[in-house]
A = this chain, B = another copy of it.
């Protein structure tokens, strides 16, 4: 784990620091998406708010994480898969938000279907978010 974290950071030309290691660890541990507030809570206020913002921003820039659109004004971040490279993401999978536990889960094996747009529109990226009850909350 420790080794994997260091490897990911170095691979992306980021220096290995305490906050980056800790925040990346959180993403690797959680199978879902994290909002800024989640990270602050889970790190136990160990790091400055500003540092968390900047760390997330640099992870975004490097393509380590991606954002998930939500209707409730809270950006959520999730780990990108290995085939994500800087500036060019392949996270065309469906995201699931549970209305019970409010966890956001990447459904890596459910790809976003293509839609036919009206004439004159050119698609670049498609995001799909499903709201409902997740596996753990349904049982």
Contacts and interface: CB of A to CB of B under 8 A. Distances in A.
Interface of A: 67-75, 94, 96, 99, 107, 109-110, 112-113, 115-135, 138-139
B117 A124 contact: no
A109 B113 contact: no
A126 B131 contact: yes
A109 B118 contact: yes
A126 B134 contact: no
Contacts of A121: 96, 107, 130, 132-135, 138
Contacts of A109: 118
Contacts of A99: 124
20 contacts: A69-B70, A69-B129, A71-B75, A72-B75, A73-B74, A96-B121, A107-B118, A107-B121, A110-B116, A112-B115, A113-B113, A118-B135, A119-B135, A121-B133, A121-B135, A123-B130, A123-B132, A126-B129, A127-B128, A127-B130
